[in-house]
Structure 1
């Protein structure tokens, strides 16, 4: 009898198709980005230079350096043509922005045709003469795009310094915000009503977590200690002996029982002695049986569950509890505040400054 042919599917090996290599950037778009980067950089350079030379600071510095005539020549001769050139730059940027908007509408780049000015808000605002410094955002966007494509727009050291000081600025700003929030929250805790409301709401929302945490600690710490009493013969014998002695002492200190027993002639003293010994033995047996039953694993776990549930559902109108929780919150805020005040950037060996 011939065997059926083996399916090719069972013998085929899974081959991983290599992902296609990334597409090279469009040369026209890349060249256009570089061109716009140069144009906007020149525009910003001229704007900054003109603003500095037309300021009162430049006048004072020129007077101190005895070059007032040169500065006056610039202000009277170069300033107006430079402003005119800035106007042409602005017209060019407005036209360029409008053309890109039309292209985005034609290509349906955005969900709605009017989304373009909102996405490129910094370019729209940068077209106004009073907000021309916003054109710097366009330079940053183009530079970042070129950097992602692998073109080194700025030296690596400059990039590291920019990132470093940017991290410093963000860290200091966020630290100030967090410290202000902590100070405001600490101030609210001084109000008794606000403090009571915070404690009540905190405990009410987390009763299930409190019960689970208390039960976990009881199971981890208390149950093993109690079960050691069951497994430790020395401790168990001590408890049983003490209970037996207590019952024996109780029988011995019962005058009515002793009087009735001694009324029995001849055997009264013997019966009394045996009765005390029997009471001692009964006490030991009862103590051992009670210990054995109470320290059973299931009974202990049920007892710990009841204890944890009682602690989690305790009444919050307790001055000692309020003091404890307020102290814990204050200590937590102090620890968080101390951690926030640590300037992490000082521990970074990013730059050799």
Structure 2
């Protein structure tokens, strides 16, 4: 059921236009009924049915049928006058950017005014335009009506099915391209990564410098420094050459501990300076002229990456193909 919101009607100051809409709605229904009846009247079967019901019906209607064009032109005159009036008001209110946008946006109203058999069907769309206009001003709420919910649901089903098939088609074409040996990895490296090498180098250098300052900080880098010291101490103790220092009388353990501390500090400072001194130019040079993998390893890696992409696309296709609208019936 359509519910009228009187508060919204008073707030919108559209009372006059609402009255015009109802008048036009009544005229549209009358005009469409007249067109339908006159179209049926031209058939022998329908006239025979009318004669069977009452011969006087056909006799009374025959003058209207003979002047159908004239009567229809009267309806057209009213419809066209209402169209021009709304156009004038639209220009005055500046509803659109240009004054001539109105007839293009409401093309169905203009075409419906043409008194031809093929164009009269567009007058039926005026009914929906009037109801939509009332819904836009929130004077009529269509969202809770059964018809609106029915149309909205199957519209969503249609859009979902159509979009899913388009997406699956696109993904399938991408898969086919990959399986035929698409140079995707090379294109990513040359057209995507290479063009952003300066940005990547600057980001990597900034990250490494930040890591160096973090390790150097007494609080932030405490855990890493302790880990390095313990690793160096373990390595020093396990070294056979250093272990011989223990044989030195009295000073053996002291020398070993001093050496452990000195080596740990040297390693930590070396790592800190290495990270802090890494400039974007050095990173870029290393990325450009650094040691690369062998040709066989590169081909194997490219093949594995393409296989991963193929599997990901396959999973994505399965997810897209899932008909989520069916859950509506399952919940019922």
Which residue is 2:235 aligned to? 239
Q: 1:35, 1:191 → 2: CA distance?
A: 67
Q: 1:294, 1:106 → 2: CA distance?
A: 80
Q: 1:344, 1:283 → 2: CA distance?
A: 70
Measured after TM superposition, the shift of residue 30 of structure 1 is 0.8
Which residue is 2:100 aligned to? 114
Matched, 1:141 2:121: no
Q: Give secondary structure in 2 for the equivalent of 1:169.
A: helix
Correspondences of 1:249-288 after superposition (within 5 Å)? 285-286=258-259, 288=261
Correspondences of 1:95-106 after superposition (within 5 Å)? 95-105=81-91
Measured after TM superposition, the shift of residue 172 of structure 1 is 1.8
- 8 Å Cα contact 2:109-2:123 kept in structure 1: yes
- 8 Å Cα contact 1:94-1:127 kept in structure 2: yes
Which residue is 1:192 aligned to? 182
Which residue is 2:193 aligned to? 203
Q: Over aligned residue pairs, what C-alpha RMSD do you find?
A: 5.1
Q: 2:23, 2:175 → 1: CA distance?
A: 55
Which residue is 1:37 aligned to? 25
Q: 2:196, 2:104 → 1: CA distance?
A: 44
Aligned residues: 287
Measured after TM superposition, the shift of residue 209 of structure 1 is 6.3
Measured after TM superposition, the shift of residue 171 of structure 1 is 1.7
Q: 2:37, 2:237 → 1: CA distance?
A: 100
Q: 1:211, 1:89 → 2: CA distance?
A: 74
Q: 1:140, 1:43 → 2: CA distance?
A: 15
Q: Give secondary structure in 2 for the equivalent of 1:295.
A: helix
- 8 Å Cα contact 2:108-2:125 kept in structure 1: yes
- 8 Å Cα contact 1:186-1:330 kept in structure 2: yes
Which residue is 2:80 aligned to? 94
**1:318-343 deviation line (CA, Å, top 9, x unaligned):** 32443344234323322332221122
- 8 Å Cα contact 1:37-1:143 kept in structure 2: no
Against the structure 1 CA distance between its residues 236 and 40, is the aligned structure 2 distance closer, same or farther, given a 3 Å change threshold?
A: same
Correspondences of 1:123-202 after superposition (within 5 Å)? 123-128=109-114, 129=116, 130-147=118-135, 148-152=137-141, 156-189=145-178, 190-193=180-183, 196-202=186-192
Measured after TM superposition, the shift of residue 239 of structure 1 is 0.9
For structure 1, the 5+ residue unaligned runs are 1-20, 55-67, 252-272
Which residue is 1:291 aligned to? 264
Measured after TM superposition, the shift of residue 175 of structure 1 is 1.7
Measured after TM superposition, the shift of residue 32 of structure 1 is 0.9
Measured after TM superposition, the shift of residue 285 of structure 1 is 4.9
Q: 2:170, 2:321 → 1: CA distance?
A: 13
Q: 1:125, 1:181 → 2: CA distance?
A: 38
Deviates more, 1:178-187 or 1:319-328: 319-328
- 8 Å Cα contact 1:240-1:288 kept in structure 2: no
Q: Give secondary structure in 2 for the equivalent of 1:239.
A: helix
Q: Considering Cα pairs closer than 8 Å and 6+ residues apart, tell me whether 1 or 2 has the greater RCO.
A: 2
